[in-house]
Amino acid sequence: MPMTKDTVFQPQFRHDFENDLMVRTLAGEQVSSPPVWLMRQAGRYLPEYREVRQNFPDFMSLCRSADATTEVALQPLRRFQLDAAIVFSDILTIADSLDMGLRFMPGEGPLLRRPITQPDQIDALPFDSCIDRLAYVFKAVSSLRAALGKRLPIIGFSGSPWTQACYMLSGYGEKQFTTAKRFAFTHPVAMTNLLRRLSAVTAEYLFQQYVAGADILFVIDTWGGLLGDSHFSIFSSDMLAMICDQLRQMDCLAPVMFFSKGLTTRRLQPIVSIPNVSCIGVDWCADMPQLQREFPEMTFQGNLDPVVLHAGPVTTQQHVSAMLQSLRTEQRTVAALGHGILPETPIDSVHAFIDTVRSRG
C-alpha cells in the first residue's frame, strides 16, 4: 500500500547480515563499539585498485564494468575490518547521463565539456532518459550484493542536487564554484528548476540502487559548505527533503544518510526532521559532540580530518582516540573521516584508524 502524508514513516533496518553493526547503530540501538567505514574506502590509496585501474582507458570505463567495480568495492573489505560496503561509482554519474561530456583529467579532476551557461539549456537536457543510461550503476550494485551475500550492508549513493549543479554550471572543480553561484543568484528561477529536476532524478536513481540491492542510501553534498545559511536551506536541505519525500512515495524503506561540509545547529534543524534521514555525516570543522548533545535522536558520522592519516599510524591512533573520547560512542555514532580518504594516505594509518575504533569494543 503506497504511503500517504498521514502515514508514519519508519525506515526499514535489515538485521539479517552476518555483520549488522552499521544498521543497528542507524536504528538507534546501543552497541558496544561504533561501526566504522570510510568515504572513498575503495580507491587510489590502494595498490590493488591502481592495478585494476590500469586495465581501463579512463575512470568512467572502469565504473561501467560491473566486474571491475565489484572487485574494487571488495578490495578494502579484504584488508580492513569494515562494517559496510559502498558501491564503487562517482557523484557525477547523473551529470554524465545528461550528456554533459564528463571526463576525468589526470591531476585535475572532473571536467564537463558541455556545461550549462544559459537558463534555456536546462529543459533541453535528457532528464527523461537519463535513468536508463545509468543501468550500469544498478548492475554494479546487484553484482556487489551477489558477491557479498549476507555479509555486510551496501551503501548506494548520489551527489546532492546542489553539488551536481556546481559541476554542471562551472564545468570543472572550480575552487569556490563562483560560476555556479553567480548563475544561481542571476537566474534564481532557472536554478530552482535545475535543482528540482536533479532532485527528482536523484530520488529515482537512489531508488533503483535500493531495488538492485543497496540497503542504505547516501546523499553527498560536498559543496554545501560554500553556501550561506539561507541558500543552504533553499539549495540543499529543501532538495534533500524533496528527494526523501519522493523515496517515501515510492515505498522505499531504506534509511538515508546525508553528508555536507559546514553543518551547524541551524542547518541541521530541518534535516533531522526528515523521516528517512537516519544518519548525518559531518566534516572535521563541525562540533560533533555538541551536535550529538543537541540532536540526541540522530546518528552522526565523522569526523576526523583525512589529512591526519598522512602523519602516520601513531599520530592517527592518538587523534582517533581523542575523537572517540569526545563523542557519545555508546550509541548513535559512526566512526569515520570528515571526508574521503586522500590518494596519498598510508595504508598503515588506515589500519590504525580502524584498529583504534575496534579497541573501543
DSSP assignment of 155-204, as one string? EEEEE-HHHHHHHHHHSB--SS-HHHHHHHHH-HHHHHHHHHHHHHHHHH
| Residue 45 annotated to the active site | no
Among candidate residues 20, 45, 83, 90, the one labeled active-site is 90
**pLDDT value of residue 8:** 59
- Look up the CATH architecture of domain 21-301: Alpha-Beta Barrel (3.20)
| Residue 167 annotated to the active site | yes
**pLDDT value of residue 32:** 85
Among candidate residues 20, 40, 64, 248, the one labeled active-site is 40
Q: Is the dihedral of CA 177, 183, 184, 190 positive or negative?
A: negative
**pLDDT value of residue 107:** 74
Among candidate residues 24, 53, 328, 360, the one labeled active-site is 53
Tens of pLDDT, residues 70-100 = 999 999 999 999 999 999 999 999 999 999 9
Spatial distance between the Cα atoms of 236 and 239, rounded to a whole number of angstroms: 5
Among candidate residues 44, 114, 196, 360, the one labeled active-site is 44
| Residue 120 annotated to the active site | no
Among candidate residues 20, 45, 49, 167, the one labeled active-site is 167
Domain boundaries along the sequence of the chain: 21-301
Question: Which stretches of the chain score pLDDT less than 50?
Answer: 1-6
| Residue 360 annotated to the active site | no
**pLDDT value of residue 95:** 96
**pLDDT value of residue 331:** 67
**pLDDT value of residue 10:** 72
**pLDDT value of residue 4:** 42
| Residue 44 annotated to the active site | yes
